[in-house]
Structure 1
Amino acid sequence: MKLVTVREHARLTTGPVPAGSLDAAGIPLSAFDWLCREAQRHRAGGAPLVQVEDRRWLRIDNYVGVLESPCGTRIEILPKHVRGESDVATARRVLVRMLREGLRLPRPRISDPTALETFDAPVSEWIIQQFLLELDGLVRRGLRFDYRLVEEEVRFLRGRLQIARQLRQPVGRQHLFQVEHQVFDADRPENRLIAAALLKVAGMTRDPANWRLAHELEHQLAEIQPSQDIAGDFRRWSRDRLMAHYAGIRPWCELVLGDRNPMSALGEWTGRSLLFPMEKVFESFVEACLRRHLPPAAKIRSQAASQYLCHQGKRPMFQLCPDFVIEYEDRKWVVDAKWKLLDETDAAKNYGLSQGDFYQLFAYGQRYLSGTGQLVLVFPASDTFRHSLDTFDMQEGLRLDAIPLDLEGGRFITLEQSPLPFLQGEVH
């Protein structure tokens, strides 16, 4: 198996490339052709995976995660969180933190604080590892068994005889009994989903430790049939107090089995590939950081969709959907997350800000804030964007601030007078 590690917007080719760069890599011709076919398939669905530059080069779009071609080439795509070169370990750590907080995944069961620092494998293997460790702890604590009703035809009387069905027995089968009885076993929705997730990761992992633990756990769950109705079994997942010890493994099952919608819940895991749209990862990470700082009385709405840009008669047109609308103490803020690297020293090029984003935020301010209030753009902090930009006056009473979010610490870096008052305890 060939492992190639790059970052967003990297270029791939079949020819030789300089070693040590995350922005260009060489891959086998079979993997190159497969990516071209996948690009066409994703483009038809409106989500381009790679851009074909010419016959020799492909450019990866803004996805992160792992791609594995049928020929065994594994391409790990990491976030481009700095303008210059970045080391693989730091980029992996940033991605894992953003996924863990954005997807509200349980804290790692690894007790050693340096375990993540030394985990030298793609993010898919980290997810598999965390699922297996969570499952191992659950198995040690004990799987939940329950009674289930079984109706069957047997040669001996067992349980309760079903009189109506027995009377309808054909003459040649009157020696058989139609009975119903209860069986106490582990065949319940939660265990079926766990078995399905375990079956998937056992065939997917390439890490020896993960492979060994997965097959050990398969032997312990051998009597449980994997779920054949993933969505239905998730709906039937019990949340009563007797199932409280199952709460930690559910998010991992949802991620592995793909129950979460790719665009709203970030992940698309098909075959042996796991991809995350980077804008959605950052947006979910920003939401998690905001919720951590909000006072208990504050309300936050994600993807608010109550306002429109205009009306034609009574028909509303062009729905406006800001990432977050926050309400607290009779005040309201509109916050948008943008996965883009700014340069706070390049005022001549507007710091890298997009005019379209300002038009968009201005429309949000008119419809959601009635033309008066505070707008906030959140960008990732980087080596060229370490401080909040000076406030932009959109119109009388309508202000916009662009602030950085530290990806490793999960902290908003604001000015002395923060545009969001509940961030006053942040780094200044």
Structure 2
Amino acid sequence: MKPSYTLREWETLPHGDVEGCISPHMASRLVALAKTSPFAGRGGNGVLEDRRHELRARGVVGVLATQDCNLEILPKIDIALGEGAERQNAAIRKRLVHMLAVALDLKIETGRITELDWQRETLLEILIRIFCDKLTETLRRGIPRRYLGHEDDLSTLRGTLNVPRQFTRHAANPARLACRFDDLSEDIALNRITKAAVSHLFKISRNATNQQRLRELAFVYADITDVPAPALNWAEVVIDRTNRAWQDLFGMAQLFLRNQYQTTSGGSGQGSALLFEMSALFEEYVGRLVLRALAGTEFRVTLQGGRLFCLTSLEDARAVFQTRPDILIWRAGQVTHVIDTKWKRISSRIDDPKQGVSQGDVYQMMAYAHLYKAPRLTLLYPHYEGLGGNEGIQAKFQITGQQTVIETASVDVANGKDLVARLRNALFLTTTEERLAF
């Protein structure tokens, strides 16, 4: 069994020919695979930074799997320090799966996964296990079918007669009839996509139980056409009341095959990876939570909306520098609150009135204040133990010469209990009257 290593964001893994280090050969394989990711950036170090004697994880999490070893990178989420490293990693995996489920709007059940499984399996194997469980359960209700149109030359009429074809091709042979008919078929786009996902996961899984499950599932799809992942017809799949049970499986197939966050398959046998940029995942996660928190109220929420431009060219009146705030909250047609998420830690030091907030982030919020005329703007960060106190608003500032408020706030993603209600209380219910209204 090939070795597996686990790091958290910004931690390092030493490499060398001594005990406790990953071998230089394995390290170079991991670095080469990481560089194939779009997250690698111009210098190639955006996923995994190759230092002189160590590898350093950056702000991308997930699993890199080469022929020699696996490297799992977990998000930097504070878990109770009294627990061992394996239990902490297990808890982080649970939170990351939860964040993915919320961000991708998936119903993922993890009840069958034991605490030991969470501790000893990587994120990739956990997700494969969830996919196999869900697919097996859904297949018990039957594989999806759909009527597909066919044309064929038959000895007896089936469906309707294709008159132009009949009189051009079979005018001299009336024993053959050009027929058009519908046939109930399993060989449809949804099943082809599911089969491609099963095949892909079988190639990258290293867990014997998962491989056996995938082998059994592949047998179910033996009569479905094999289609390479780049050629899959995603647009042909329509989820409606007849196949609603397959919605989450379709979403998970996109996660594995369609680079919804980012899946890498390195060339020349380099390996494969399932990677997630934490800044994008945190943004989508919080946005979905805000949608839930304000559902049924007088407020309307848009994610990545607005799209107003900062500047207009004097030469040709062309608008440039478009803005896309992470979260806009509207009331009566007006933007009342702009929230921008930042997957990084702010400071709680008393001698740092800026809290470590980037000057560029402040300038960005001031541009939002000018363009969207919102009276309140929030920079939202992940909460962590070193920040002290509770999640919620950490500091408030007023733009000089204006009434507009810019505040910093935090949300504790390590604690998933009542998170929607906590977010509502921490950010939106700032007065007694507002709390009573809810």
In the superposition, the TM-score normalised over structure 2's length comes to 0.81
Please show how residues 415-426 of structure 1 align to structure 2 within 5 Å: 419-421=427-429
* Residue pairs, 1:129-168, within 5 angstroms: 129-152=129-152, 159=158, 165=165
Distance in 2 (alpha carbons) for counterparts of 1:57 and 1:47: 13
Q: Deviations over 1:98-130 (max 9, x none)?
A: 11111212131x445x73674231111122112
CA distances 1:276-315 after superposition (whole Å, capped 9, x unpaired): 0011111111112211211424222222343233333223
Q: Is the 8 A contact 1:124 1:274 kept in 2?
A: yes
| Whole-Å separation in 1 of the counterparts to 2:292 and 2:115 | 23
Alignment of 1:122-201 (within 5 A): 122-152=122-152, 159=158, 165=165, 181-201=181-201
Name 2:366's counterpart in structure 1.
Answer: 362
Q: Answer yes or no: is the 8 Å Cα contact 2:10–2:58 preserved in 1.
A: yes
Do the aligned residues in 1 keep the contact of 2:193 with 2:232 (CA within 8 Å)? no
Name which of 44, 50, 53 aligns with 1:52: 50
The one-character-per-residue Cα deviations of 1:160-200 (angstroms, maximum 9, x if unpaired) are 77676567669xx9998765554433111211111111111
CA distance in 2, matches of 1:283, 1:116: 28
Deviation at 1:46, TM superposition (A): 7.8
Aligned counterparts of 2:301 and 2:227: Cα–Cα separation in 1: 36
What amino acid is the match of 1:72? D
Corresponding residue number in structure 1 for 2:309:
308
1:10 aligns with 2:11: yes
Q: Which has the larger displacement, 381-390 or 209-218?
A: 381-390
Please show how residues 373-412 of structure 1 align to structure 2 within 5 Å.
Answer: 373-385=375-387, 386-387=389-390, 388-395=393-400, 396-410=402-416, 411=419
Give the equivalent residue in structure 1 for 2:262.
267
* Match status 1:79 vs 2:75: yes
SS of 1:66's equivalent in the other structure is strand
Task: Percent identity, please.
Answer: 24
Instruction: Give the match's secondary structure for 1:317.
Output: strand
2:325 aligns with 322
* Between 340-349 and 380-389, the greater mean CA deviation after superposition: 340-349
- Give the secondary structure class of the aligned counterpart of 1:351: coil
Indicate how the Cα distance of structure 1 residues 204 and 415 shifts in structure 2: closer, same or farther if over 3 A, else same.
closer
In structure 2, what residue type is equivalent to 1:275? L
Give the CA deviation at 1:72.
Answer: 2.6
- How much is the aligned-residue C-alpha RMSD, in angstroms? 3.5
Letter in 2 for 1:78: L
SS of aligned partner of 1:80:
coil
Structure 1 counterpart of 2:143, one-letter code: L
Q: Secondary structure in 2 aligned to 1:325?
A: strand
For the 8 Å contact 1:295–1:422, the answer to whether it is kept is no
2:23 pairs with 1:37: no
CA apart distance, 1:36 = 3.8
Return the alpha-carbon distance in structure 2 between the equivalents of residues 414 and 50 of structure 1: 34
Does the CA-based 8 Å contact 1:97-1:408 persist in structure 2? no
- Measure, in 2, the Cα distance between the counterparts of 1:68 and 1:416: 39
- Kindly state the Cα deviation for residue 32 of structure 1 after the two structures are TM-superposed: 2.0
Instruction: Name the CA shift for 1:84/1:29 in 2 (closer, same or farther; >3 Å).
Output: farther
Which residue of structure 2 lines up, in the alignment, with residue 92 of structure 1? 93
Change (3 A) 1:425 1:80: farther
The CA distance in 2 between the partners of 1:404 and 1:30, in whole Å, is 41
* Whole-angstrom CA distance in 2 between matches of 1:419 and 1:425: 11
Indicate conservation of the 8 Å contact 1:193/1:230, yes or no: no
How far 1:88 moved relative to its partner? 1.4
CA distance in 2, matches of 1:402, 1:162: 68
Shift of 1:11: 2.2
- Secondary structure, counterpart of 1:390 in structure 2: strand
Matched letter for residue 57 of structure 2:
I
Output the amino acid matched with 1:65: G
Give the whole-Å Cα distance in 2 for the aligned partners of 1:80 and 1:282.
12
Q: Which amino acid aligns with 1:382?
A: Y
Is the contact made by 1:293 and 1:422 (CA closer than 8 Å) also made in structure 2?
Answer: no
Which of 22, 30, 55 aligns to 1:27? It is: 22
CA distance in 1, matches of 2:79, 2:242: 50
> Structure 1 counterpart of 2:90, which letter?
A
- Mean Cα deviation higher: 383-392 or 57-66: 383-392
Amino acid at match of 1:77: I
Q: Determine if contact 1:13/1:32 at 8 Å carries over to the other structure.
A: no
Gaps of 5+ in 1: 20-25, 261-265
After superposition, the Cα gap between the structure-2 partners of 1:88 and 1:215, relative to the gap in structure 1 and judged at 3 Å, is: same
Q: The residue matched to 1:348 in structure 2 has which SS?
A: coil
State the alpha-carbon separation in 2 of the partners of residues 28 and 92 from structure 1: 26
Alignment match, 1:263: none
Deviation of residue 422 (structure 1)? Answer: 8.0
Give the Cα separation in 1 of the matches to 2:346 and 2:259.
35
Distance 2:300 2:424 in 1: 24
**Paired letter, 1:73:** C
State the 1:67 CA deviation.
0.2
Contact 1:81 1:341 in 2 (8 A): no
Aligned residues: 407
